[in-house]
Amino acid sequence: MYKRLSAILFPVATVLLIGALVWGYQENQEKNSILIKAENQYQRAFHDLSYHVDKLHTELGNTLAVHSASTGSQRKGLVNVWRITSEAQNEINQLPLALLPFNKTEEFLSRISKFSYQVAVRDMTKQPLSANEVKNLNELYKSSAQISKDLQGVQNKVISNRLRWMDVETALASEREPRDNTIIDGFKTVDKRVGEYPELDWGPSISSMYNKRSVKKLNGKPTTIQDIKEKTAAFTNVKDSNAIQVVENGRGTEWASYTANVKGMHDGESWTLDFTRNGGHLISYTYIRPIGPKAVDHKTARARADEFLVNKGYTNLTPITYDEFGNEGNFTFVSKQGDVLIYPEKVTLRVALDNGQVTGLQASDYVYEHGNRAKIKAPKLTLQQARKFLNSEYKEKYNRLALIENDQSDKVLTYEFGGSINGSQYRIYINAENGNEEIVEEVRSNGNAVQS
């Protein structure tokens, strides 16, 4: 009997063993193939990064070498600087550097990109390079030479020692210290050196892009946890203070804030609110609960959103867009002064379409911009004059005055024209002073402009 069982089970076991070995071999081959592809991608991105930083140094030199009156060549050089820097930024994003401090170098490249783009797109025959901008280009030329030299040093070590980027990823993912890796050490050296470069005067438009919003810039006295509990209770109408838990975020930093978490009485019900430390301004609100089938139309949702804003103390706001996703609607509101919509002062609301209840609010833009509003001047161009700067094929559907923040981070008064061309919907913002097209943006089919 045992012989018969052995005669049957032994071949079966042998087949299973062979199958397991084959499967394991295939799995290992597939794993190795994936690792090889990832390593090749990392190597390509790194060597391209080294090449483009070297090209950046060369292009900056070319721009400085031409005659100061040769604005065409200067613009061409700055466009190339912008393009090359953008490619270098993209290659950095492809490397496993998420856990490695490389932010100074990334910000340095970002500032070069913004600087070169903004100078290149302006009319350099009327506004040529200033003495300060030429000084900046000279400093960038010197700095890029050192960065290129350091990266090439790392590149030579990678090639000569056959170093692998997969080892970098493993080292970064490990929490063990110290991290002894030639590539990691090389990138740390580059970033440290960039951090020691002299601070450049990039001008107000570039600097404002990197001017972090902080509670220190807000009006109002610092609040306490008890203050936030009281604000949360008033906003949510939750009377039980024990249901409200408040934590402080970023204590001692310029990003200090509070987060209040509230547990509801029903299953699946809770609230989360974020407040600034200075002044205790609400910057976001989320109400989580099960949402039923859609039973509320756009008109009713709009009325509930308006009512919510008034009850919570947000006045002089008007809706500009409305989107629906499933059984929720999203409104974007902006401040309005006279006939002018003030886009930087933005509030977004999420409305549950089962009963029209507001379940979300994002007001950080409104909080940080509302107290910094500059005086709005009357438009120099009439509506009819501004229309002349539109494409003759553009089919206008509506127009309104709007204060926006343009690509240079300047707040400018514009005429907003909504309409269509070539089968697509667009919003075009024409500068109300000089007729420049400040922004052209396509309106997706799921986003509807709300005409005020």
Q: pLDDT by residue for the chain (452 residues), tens digit each?
A: 555 555 565 565 665 666 565 555 555 555 556 667 767 777 788 788 888 888 888 888 888 888 777 888 888 888 888 888 888 888 877 777 654 556 677 777 888 888 888 888 777 888 888 888 888 888 888 888 888 888 888 778 777 777 676 666 565 555 544 444 666 666 767 676 666 666 655 555 555 554 555 555 566 788 899 999 999 999 998 888 888 999 988 776 666 789 999 988 878 889 999 998 888 999 999 999 999 999 999 999 999 999 999 999 998 899 998 988 888 999 999 999 999 999 999 999 999 999 999 999 999 889 888 777 778 889 999 999 999 999 999 999 999 999 998 877 788 999 999 999 988 899 999 999 999 888 888 887 555 556 55
Q: Which residue's entry shows tokens 């170093």?
A: 163
Both 177 and 38 in a single domain? yes
CB contact at 8 A, 391 and 422: no
Both 204 and 236 in a single domain? no
* Distance in angstroms (rounded) separating the CA atoms of residues 22 and 441: 55
Instruction: Examine residue 14 and state whether it is found in any structural domain, yes or no.
Output: no
Both 312 and 276 in a single domain? yes
Both 366 and 404 in a single domain? no
pTM: 0.64
Instruction: Examine residue 33 and state whether it is found in any structural domain, yes or no.
Output: yes
Both 129 and 165 in a single domain? yes
Residue 198, preceding bond cis, omega within 30 degrees?
A: no
Q: State the sign of the Cα–Cα–Cα–Cα dihedral 180, 186, 188, 189.
A: positive
Give the structural domain span for 285.
217-370
Number of domains in the chain: 3
Both 292 and 411 in a single domain? no
For the chain, the maximum distance between any two Cα atoms, rounded to a whole number of angstroms, is: 105
DSSP track, 91-132: HHHTSS-TTS--HHHHHHHHHHHHHHHHHHHS-TTTS---HH
Instruction: Examine residue 377 and state whether it is found in any structural domain, yes or no.
Output: no
CB contact at 8 A, 350 and 329: yes
Q: What is the CATH number of the domain that holds 330?
A: 3.30.310
CB contact at 8 A, 367 and 283: yes
Strand 340-352 versus strand 395-405 pairing type: parallel
Both 235 and 345 in a single domain? yes
Instruction: Examine residue 70 and state whether it is found in any structural domain, yes or no.
Output: yes
CB contact at 8 A, 107 and 210: yes
Both 42 and 160 in a single domain? yes
Both 234 and 139 in a single domain? no
Instruction: Examine residue 7 and state whether it is found in any structural domain, yes or no.
Output: no
Three-state secondary-structure class, residue 227: helix
- In this prediction, residue 91 carries a pLDDT of 82
Both 301 and 336 in a single domain? yes
Instruction: Examine residue 112 and state whether it is found in any structural domain, yes or no.
Output: yes
CB contact at 8 A, 309 and 358: no
- Amino acid code (one letter) for 70: S
Both 278 and 346 in a single domain? yes
Give the bridge partners for 361, in sequence order. 285, 349
Instruction: Examine residue 17 and state whether it is found in any structural domain, yes or no.
Output: no
- In this prediction, residue 409 carries a pLDDT of 73
CB contact at 8 A, 143 and 112: no
CB contact at 8 A, 201 and 138: no
Task: Decide which of 209, 243, 273 is a domain's last residue.
Answer: 209
* Distance in angstroms (rounded) separating the CA atoms of residues 225 and 259: 10
Task: Decide which of 336, 370, 404 is a domain's last residue.
Answer: 370
Instruction: Examine residue 396 and state whether it is found in any structural domain, yes or no.
Output: yes
Helices (H), 122-261: 131-160, 165-173, 182-195, 204-209, 225-236
Task: Decide which of 342, 370, 398 is a domain's last residue.
Answer: 370
What are residue 105's phi and psi, to 5 degrees? -70, -40
Both 174 and 236 in a single domain? no
